Structure 1
Amino acid sequence: MSAWLTTLFPFLRWFPMSREVIRADLIAGITVALVLVPQSMAYAQLAGLPVVYGLYASFVPVIVASLWGSSSQLHTGPVAMLSLMSAAALIPLASPGSAEFIELSVMLALMVGILRLALGLFRLGAIVNLLSSPVIVGFTNAAALIIGLSQLSKVIGVPFPRTESYLADLWRVIEQLPYLHLETVLFAAGAFLLIYGLKRKLPSLPGVLIAVAVTTLISALVSYENKMQVTQAQIQSEKVVSAMTDFARAKQLINKLTEEISSLNQQAGKLEEQAGLENIEQAAELRATAAVRKHELNILKKEQTLKRVALHKMTLQGVQTPAGQWQFYPEEAVPDNRESDEKSWRFDSIEDGQIVLSSGGAVVGTIPEGLPDFNVPTLQWDLMLALLPAALVMALIGFMEATSISKAIASTTGERVDTSKELVGQGLANIAGSFFSSYTVSGSFSRSAVAARTGARTGMFAIISAVAVVLVLLFFTTYLYHLPQAVLAVIVMMAVFSLIRIRPLIQAWRVDRVSAGIGVVTFLATLLMAPAIANGILLGISLTVLHYLIRIMRPRAEIVSHKEDGSLGGIKAHHLKPISELYVPVRFDGSLTFINVAYFEDIVLEALSEFPRAKVILVIGSSINEIDASGEEKVREVARRLRDSGVQLMFSGLKHQVMQVMESSGLMDELGREAFFADKQTALQTLKNLFEKRVIEPRDSDDRTVYRGGNVTSHLL
């Protein structure tokens, strides 16, 4: 099979497939599917989407990534990190679960896919090196805490307020602990014990799927959801009714403002496409109006979340009248002569003018049957620029996650992983998925590990897992109605808390305290900036690049002398006596380029100021890997300044490529070929011999002299 054909269609390398390979992939695919179905639904909720969108993201993207990726065991689909990042990027722009939010999630997946595809096609995978290990660990730890703790409200059965401060929102959840729903907590605890126990005692069984099946069955049998529609007249509290209707009015206003903002931006976009100054001015006015409305909308959303929390604290008890009609009173206001049903009812929603009360917990609810339709993603050009930083970070994080998983598995299988091909596969998966209502996907560590452990041989296993998702979408969604959302929350929490690692930061502190400090700053910044967690890692990247630039600009450079063991060390760091007052060896551990040549000049002149009697400054340059035009010019300038002061600039141990530049530029001839030594030992011994002999011969009348010693003749002017 020709190389170009396998490059264009990487999946051709799977064939021909033996019966053994097919059997192995079939078993691995079915096993992974048992994990994929519940995980995908849990992660969709984490992304602020209905659970069915997790199943959509586990269909087309899985197939495309397996066909065009380079790893045979990598499983692509919804993952916790990108699910949270997707929600965090979009929450300021739309309400989670709304039609606009879903459209933006799909558009964001397309953007991430295009960025990854571009990085892969141009073989720019090395850009991920901007993510240093401490930054990645700091960000991952913070994101894992944010992801896990964001599920706490579902575990205890209270609303999760969404404002611009995640920590403030989390505190409001903690404040609602007295109002928790006991049955919800029991379902969450039971799911945790079942998953954890099966993992410890019977790891071969699909613990997550078993927990989902058992809790769904129990939920259906005990009528865990338990909702009731009532009229305002049935609620015997003006305060409660007023709060509920106020909440409903605010929701309508939010929807109206959202539609108005969308309409204004669309009108502005159409005007900007047309020529003419008048159209541009009108578009600018519309954009300004949209910005004002957006500010109003953000304030309304913040107030609405707080209203929802306040409503949850208002508990009611039902009392049945002799006529058989239910009336609901605040718990403290139930008439003494009336017997209540002993259930605590809380506000759930308002549908078609009817108030929905619930005495149970939240379940997944109705999941649409059937496969996603082919739809071109809606592109909102005005929001693309705002989402670009988040899309870029998601592209890099997802790529880093996928390649690290692939390389970890490849270390045991011996398979070669091409990071550029993996980028192409991941990019195509997100692009293709966006046309089938998928949100952003990436390589999953847990599912890939399951695939490798169960013996997956080719990417065919992933396609088999996607077929299983198709069967669920076609025939089994009705059976998932009663699945408690608390169980999905536990699945997410158990998955992400296992990502928290402290040891790498401790180890980094021992090696490089500045880098470890940047990792800690990234951790704290990600927590403080949440829900906009992309800003945390962007800060970490910026600090890493700045630290790197500072290190390049100021490489290690010091005056050296002999230590007791004969090796060279810094005279200040090791409190050493100088080798000589007449010749000063200076170690410079950096390349001579535009970014640090000023520092090279400073260190040479500093050596001269500390040793004013010096006649030679010897630069030990074994660590100088390159020299550019700025470096060559600066060395020439420094040598001339030293020569004017009667001092010779010398070099030892320069690499071939540096010597070549100096020779071709004429710098070597200007300094004198005798000013270059092959290594530092030869240079120091020669200078020692030269200055110990102190052979000084008169040269001319202006008191310039020539030192002669060994094979060196240095003109000290």
Structure 2
Amino acid sequence: MPFFGWIGELRDGKILKADILAGVTVALVLVPQSMAYAQLAGLPAYYGLYASFLPPMIAAFFGSSRQLATGPVAVVSLMTAAALEPIAAANPEGFLIYAVLLALFVGVFQISLGLLRLGVLVDLLSHPVVVGFTNAGAIIIATSQLSKLFGVTAESAPHHYEKVYNVLVAAMQNTHMMTLAFAVVAIGIMVGLKKYMPKIPNVLAAVVVTTVGAWLLGFETEMGGKVVGSIPAGLPPISLPSGIDWDIATQLMATAVIISLIGFMEAISIAKAMAARTRQKLDANQELIGQGLSNITSGLFSGYPVSGSFSRSAVNIDNGAVTGFSSVVTGLVVGLTLLFLTPLLYHLPQATLASVIILAVINLIKIEPIIHAWKAEKQDAIVAVVTMLLTLYMAPHLEIGILVGLVLSIALFIVRSMRPRVAVLSRYHDGTMRDISVHPLPTSDHIQLLRFDGSLYFANAGYFEDKVLELVASKPNLRYIIIDGEGINQIDSTGEEVLRHLAERLKSNNIEFLVARMKKQFMDTIRSTHLLEEIGVDHFFSRIQFALNYAWDGLGDDYDRTQCPLRRQVD
């Protein structure tokens, strides 16, 4: 019960006042945003309000982040739309039930991960995959609103890019100019206020101005424009979905898993950023439980899948929110809107909601992380680009892009781990051991020092053996091979077996196999398999220098160690 940690702080009047102000401010952004995102999900606008009433409160009570603002978000709404589109085409009357069911599936899966302490599974979605998918998702979301922006209807198509083309063709032929005008006004208000008067809630201002303008001008009745229309007054009743076709429901489960992971990754990324700023303790598994309960609550009260919002969380913390009570205030304001203010939203133009979505997701399109990934590791940049392009091409089947990106990132990681860096070391002038491929240093004909920069397991054990044998072949007078084990974090049964055979083969060629600077995990394995005794306890050393001393002593008095390239130079 994380809320027990902050509920007592509300006795402080300053904290209570700050939370109320932040909660009201977030609600002013959330009300129009949630309606816009619901329509992005292919649902009636009021479903967004239902998903913004109780879920933010539940997430605040049971999540570990105090400032995370939960509710409808763009990417999850887009994925919901992709999941529901085929159902809506086959069953236009009953597909709303499956939106509710999807929220329940997402919630159950997230709670299961949290209770089983499996939040670490989210780490399988690498940063490049998320960056590529987020960029593609933002582009898809923005372009999906073009028809509402221009006030046109276009023929549907199997792929999103084909539908966008149809919309652009229709816009060139039959743009509804007043719809476009309202969109331009809304965008102008939001951009202008954000730049010149940032303290004024720009989204709310755009909604108020365009709604009043649409009412005064008869935008719907006289001009044929599209508005939100009637919104049922009152709070959503608690109910369970009925009349479910379980063949269809099972098809939603795979999408629910992906939405759960993507939604939670977005939420936990935001929560971590805010925790670093406020120095609060964050528990990923507890946050999974909070997000799961909020999704179940959304499903029980006629909502759809929710997650943590970056923009609203930023508004929350920037307005001084200290505890989760700010999200409780946000939910209460949304509840008051449902009870008393829905008639005022009747004349809100659809073009305004489209403008809200477009401006909200433009900031999600970021090329800099891909460029940065290219500088850090080119393969990661390739994963990001492939994920982005494939998601764009396969839309509305968004899960394909994520799954391919996930498989590609894991495959590339395995390939990299199969061929870790193997460095031949020699003594540098400052006394340290350096890679001779980087620093052209002389090496000994009798003693070779080798460093393996990776865990020794089935996929790279053969590679390790090949490299050692290549070194042996290049040094016919070799007597000692010293393995610097500092980089070997783990060793599996295959790696242990290779070490055993390698030591035996070297011994048969009168070459001794020495290991220095081993880690505990390495030593635990070779002790339990008795390889330590077979190679010889005296062949393992805590420092490289001790291994060198052993080798020099073994070479005898005839060997002039003062001329050995591995000797430490003394000024």
> TM-score, length-normalised on structure 2?
0.92
* 1:550 positional shift: 2.0
Letter in 1 for 2:263: G
Equivalent in 398, 410, 413 of residue 548 of structure 1: 413
Q: In 2, distance between residues paired with 1:182 and 1:202?
A: 28
Q: Counterpart of 1:581?
A: 445
Q: In 2, distance between residues paired with 1:153 and 1:500?
A: 21
Larger of the two Rg values belongs to structure: 1
Q: Counterpart of 2:484?
A: 620
- Contact 1:50/1:97 (<8 A) preserved: no
Give secondary structure in 2 for the equivalent of 1:585.
strand
Q: Counterpart of 2:46?
A: 52
Q: Counterpart of 2:568?
A: none
- Contact 2:106/2:305 (<8 A) preserved: yes
Q: Counterpart of 2:92?
A: 98
Give secondary structure in 1 for the equivalent of 2:67.
coil
Q: Counterpart of 1:13?
A: 6
Q: Counterpart of 2:24?
A: 30
Equivalent in 665, 668, 686 of residue 529 of structure 2: 665
Equivalent in 412, 416, 424 of residue 559 of structure 1: 424
Q: Counterpart of 2:124?
A: 130
Q: Counterpart of 2:500?
A: 636
The answer to whether residue 379 in structure 2 is matched with residue 386 in structure 1 is no
* 1:574 positional shift: 3.5
The answer to whether residue 340 in structure 2 is matched with residue 475 in structure 1 is yes
- Contact 1:558/1:588 (<8 A) preserved: yes
Q: 1:685 to 1:158 in 2, by over 3 A?
A: farther
Equivalent in 296, 305, 309 of residue 431 of structure 1: 296
Q: Counterpart of 1:139?
A: 133
Q: In 2, distance between residues paired with 1:381 and 1:215?
A: 43
Gaps of 5+ in 2: 565-571
Q: Counterpart of 1:370?
A: 234
Letter in 2 for 1:217: V
* 1:508 positional shift: 1.4
Q: Counterpart of 2:81?
A: 87
Give secondary structure in 2 for the equivalent of 1:99.
coil
Deviations 1:536-592 (A, max 9, x none): 122111111112222223222233345566654444x33846513333322111223
- Contact 1:154/1:489 (<8 A) preserved: yes
Letter in 2 for 1:104: Y
Letter in 2 for 1:143: G
1:309-320 paired onto structure 2 within 5 Å: none
Q: In 2, distance between residues paired with 1:577 and 1:461?
A: 63
- Contact 2:3/2:60 (<8 A) preserved: no
Q: 1:96 to 1:196 in 2, by over 3 A?
A: farther
* 1:440 positional shift: 0.3
Letter in 1 for 2:181: L
Letter in 1 for 2:465: E
Q: In 2, distance between residues paired with 1:660 and 1:109?
A: 47
* 1:494 positional shift: 0.4
Letter in 2 for 1:10: F
How many residues align? The count is 558
- Contact 1:560/1:587 (<8 A) preserved: yes
Equivalent in 354, 373, 390 of residue 525 of structure 1: 390
Range 561-570 or range 623-632, more displaced: 561-570
1:49-198 paired onto structure 2 within 5 Å: 49-95=43-89, 98-178=92-172, 179-198=174-193
Q: Counterpart of 2:567?
A: none
Range 35-44 or range 126-135, more displaced: 126-135
Q: Percent identity?
A: 46
Q: Counterpart of 2:475?
A: 611
Equivalent in 217, 220, 231 of residue 215 of structure 2: 220
- Contact 1:160/1:169 (<8 A) preserved: yes
Letter in 2 for 1:435: L
Q: In 2, distance between residues paired with 1:422 and 1:636?
A: 46
- Contact 2:428/2:441 (<8 A) preserved: no
Q: Counterpart of 1:650?
A: 514
Q: 1:149 to 1:633 in 2, by over 3 A?
A: same
- Contact 1:48/1:97 (<8 A) preserved: no
Letter in 2 for 1:677: F
Gaps of 5+ in 1: 1-6, 228-358, 696-709, 711-717
Letter in 2 for 1:27: L
* 1:97 positional shift: 9.6
Q: Counterpart of 1:295?
A: none
Give secondary structure in 2 for the equivalent of 1:557.
strand
Q: In 1, distance between residues paired with 2:38 and 2:558?
A: 82
Q: In 2, distance between residues paired with 1:79 and 1:441?
A: 7
- Contact 2:298/2:304 (<8 A) preserved: yes
Letter in 1 for 2:462: A
Q: 1:497 to 1:574 in 2, by over 3 A?
A: same
1:222-371 paired onto structure 2 within 5 Å: 222-226=217-221, 360-371=224-235
Give secondary structure in 2 for the equivalent of 1:584.
strand
- Contact 1:103/1:377 (<8 A) preserved: yes
Deviations 1:588-634 (A, max 9, x none): 11223344323222222232233344333222211112333333222
Letter in 1 for 2:498: K
Q: Counterpart of 1:331?
A: none
Q: In 1, distance between residues paired with 2:101 and 2:374?
A: 40
- Contact 2:9/2:15 (<8 A) preserved: no
Q: In 1, distance between residues paired with 2:155 and 2:483?
A: 63
- Contact 2:422/2:450 (<8 A) preserved: yes
Deviations 1:209-229 (A, max 9, x none): 1111110111111111237xx
* 1:11 positional shift: 4.4
Letter in 1 for 2:269: S
Q: In 2, distance between residues paired with 1:663 and 1:479?
A: 75
Give secondary structure in 2 for the equivalent of 1:91.
helix
Q: In 2, distance between residues paired with 1:377 and 1:15?
A: 37
Q: In 2, distance between residues paired with 1:399 and 1:187?
A: 35
Equivalent in 598, 602, 607 of residue 466 of structure 2: 602
- Contact 1:40/1:55 (<8 A) preserved: yes
Deviations 1:10-68 (A, max 9, x none): 34631262233332222222111111110010000100001010111111212211221
Equivalent in 523, 534, 537 of residue 399 of structure 2: 534
Equivalent in 319, 322, 325 of residue 454 of structure 1: 319
Deviations 1:382-412 (A, max 9, x none): 2344223321221111111111212222222
* 1:676 positional shift: 2.2
- Contact 1:563/1:576 (<8 A) preserved: no
Give secondary structure in 2 for the equivalent of 1:58.
coil
Letter in 2 for 1:42: A
The answer to whether residue 410 in structure 2 is matched with residue 415 in structure 1 is no
Q: 1:372 to 1:606 in 2, by over 3 A?
A: same
- Contact 1:24/1:455 (<8 A) preserved: yes
Q: In 2, distance between residues paired with 1:69 and 1:577?
A: 56
Give secondary structure in 2 for the equivalent of 1:388.
helix
Q: Counterpart of 1:278?
A: none
Q: In 2, distance between residues paired with 1:426 and 1:58?
A: 13
- Contact 1:183/1:360 (<8 A) preserved: no
Return the structure number with greater strand share.
1
Give secondary structure in 2 for the equivalent of 1:368.
coil
Q: In 1, distance between residues paired with 2:166 and 2:120?
A: 42
Q: CA RMSD in A?
A: 2.4
- Contact 2:56/2:328 (<8 A) preserved: yes
Deviations 1:439-484 (A, max 9, x none): 0001111111111122222222222222222222222222211111
Give secondary structure in 1 for the equivalent of 2:70.
strand
Q: 1:100 to 1:612 in 2, by over 3 A?
A: farther
Q: Counterpart of 1:302?
A: none
Q: In 2, distance between residues paired with 1:522 and 1:693?
A: 63
- Contact 1:553/1:595 (<8 A) preserved: yes
Range 510-519 or range 365-374, more displaced: 365-374
* 1:660 positional shift: 4.1
Q: In 2, distance between residues paired with 1:92 and 1:612?
A: 70
Deviations 1:179-203 (A, max 9, x none): 2111111111100111111111211
Letter in 2 for 1:198: L
Q: 1:559 to 1:161 in 2, by over 3 A?
A: farther
- Contact 1:430/1:440 (<8 A) preserved: yes
